[in-house]
Amino acid sequence: MSDDDKSLVSRLRKLIGAGHYHPGERLGEEAVAEQFGVSRTPVRLAFRTLEQEGLLQRAGKRGFMVREFTQADVHCAVEVRGVLEGLAARRLAERGMPQDVAESLGFWIQKGRRLLDKGYLLEADINQWSDINSHFHGSIVGAADSRVVADAISRNNHLPFAAADSIIIDSEDLAREFKKLQLAQFHHELIFQSLKSGEGARAEMLMREHALIGLRYPELLADNP
Q: Which of 28, 138, 142, 214 binds DNA (CB under 7 A)?
A: 28
Q: Which of 1, 72, 119, 172 binds a second copy (CB under 8 A)?
A: 72
* Alpha-carbon span 81 to 155, nearest angstrom: 10
* Alpha-carbon span 85 to 149, nearest angstrom: 8
Closest to DNA by CB, 3 vs 172, is 3
Stretch that binds a second copy, among 19-27, 82-90, 107-115, 179-187 (CB under 8 A): 82-90
> Looking only at residues 8 through 27 of this chain, which bind DNA when binding is defined by CB under 7 A?
8, 26-27
Supply the angle between the helices 99-117 and 174-196 in degrees, to the nearest 10.
160
Compute, in degrees rounded to 10, the torsion defined by CA atoms 115, 120, 125, 129. 50
Q: Which of 49, 128, 134, 182 binds a second copy (CB under 8 A)?
A: 49
Instruction: Using CB atoms within 10 Å of the CB of residue 44, give its burial: 0 to 12 exposed, 13 to 18 middle, 19+ buried.
Output: middle
149 counts as binding a second copy under rule CB under 8 A: yes
29 counts as binding a second copy under rule CB under 8 A: no
Strands (E), 70-177: none
* Alpha-carbon span 5 to 23, nearest angstrom: 27
Q: Which of 11, 40, 75, 155 binds DNA (CB under 7 A)?
A: 40
* Alpha-carbon span 24 to 26, nearest angstrom: 6
Residue ranges in contact with DNA by CB under 7 A: 8, 26-30, 38-42, 44-45, 60-63
Residue ranges in contact with a second copy by CB under 8 A: 41, 44-45, 48-49, 51-54, 72-73, 76-77, 79-80, 83-84, 86-87, 146-149, 151-152, 155-156, 159
